[in-house]
Amino acid sequence: MTTDTSSAPLLTREQLRRQLNERGYPISASYFNKVCLPSVNGGPPVAKQWGKRPLYDLSAALAWAEARCTTSRTESAA
């Protein structure tokens, strides 16, 4: 059995939320948990499951966060 150690580590939901906050995406724990619910299905893509726990890839989550960004309302009105 081989182990792929070259890939980035997978993150839990809370670890991912903290990483997003550190990179300038201000997302609260409550909101992030809500959008990640399977019934809402609006969160970042789940890379793998560890039992019942979803694990996330940081680069995919950053792409998800960037896609959710919009232009400033004052800029778009001009």
Residues 61-70 pLDDT 10s? 999 999 999 8
**Domains in the chain: boundaries:** 13-68
What does pLDDT average to over the chain? 88
Confidence category of residue 12, pLDDT binned at 50, 70, 90 = very high
pLDDT higher than threshold 70 for residue 34: yes
Instruction: Give alpha helix (H) positions in 1-78.
Output: 13-22, 29-35, 58-68, 73-76
Sign of the alpha-carbon dihedral angle for 61, 44, 14, 69: positive
| 24-32: average pLDDT | 95
For the full predicted model, state whether its pTM sits above 0.95.
no
